[in-house]
Amino acid sequence: MVQDPVCMMKFSPREAGASVEYGGKLYYFCSPGCRDRFVAQPQLFVDKVPAMRLTMGVMGSASEATLLEVGEKAFSLGQAIAERGFILITGACPGLPYECARGAQQHGGISVGISPALSLDEHLLQYRSPADAYDVIVYTGSGLMGREVTNIRSSDMVVIIGGRSGTLGEFAIAYDEGKLIGVLQGSGGITERIPDLVKNIDKDTGARLVYSPDPYELIARMIEVYTQQHYRCPSCFCMERGRQHPAESSLAAPES
């Protein structure tokens, strides 16, 4: 159960009449009226009920070769996530996810790395992955592919940046499990192929896609979709998932 911070009514998150993100946290309301009262004077209500901080998963290429082209975009993405107050989740790997974690760290954000390793020693030496940009590292011991499921299921929303086969696997999990997915256009890799992949998949999973070449715009648009629609059923594991028409699975066609 969650609680409306304005009228103090309790209800299931899936029965909420509205939601708002404020300070990186998600607040639920019984009706648009209570939401509007909150938005007008949030300082009166934010401390009345507990609210969970939203998590933003960033999945992308671990290759150092991609950094020259899109490393700046990845860093800006981490900055945008930190400035909104969200918790960043990545695979604790080198490459673009690491640049994103660095951006979040340098702008006061909280960053969680989901490691394939059993320990810090294995993380550093066997997987040759960084540990200096994270507030928390979760050691799954699941290997590179095994930890992908944990990455996705720990994220309220998922952003795809660049990427190759590993990122494709994470996209497939996120899409199949009905997540809200942001695609950072112009970052190369599988992001160039995702629109065609979605057309060919032709499967109604409840997933929604948002496209933008600008990290800040992408995060802003994702939050808009999440708080207006997707919060009621953020994944396929909701007890009562409202089915969408297949044509509504994707928010918008990618921009040229």
Of the candidates 232, 188, 199, 256, which has an alpha carbon nearest to the alpha carbon of residue 19? 232
Task: Give residue limits of the domains in the chain.
Answer: 2-44, 55-248
pLDDT score of 241: 47
Spatial contact of 130 and 99, defined as CB atoms under 8 Å apart: no
Residue 256 token pair: 């040229």
pTM: 0.90
pLDDT score of 94: 94
pLDDT score of 240: 54
CATH class of 55-248: alpha beta
From residue 165, how far is each of 54, 145, 168, 239 by CA, in Å? Answer: 27, 10, 5, 31
pLDDT score of 253: 45
Which residues neighbour 67 within 8 Å (Cβ) at sequence distance 6 or greater? 95, 96, 99
**Which residues of the chain register pLDDT less than 70?**
66, 239-256
pLDDT score of 68: 74
pLDDT score of 58: 98
pLDDT score of 238: 82
CB atoms within 10 A of CB 148: 24
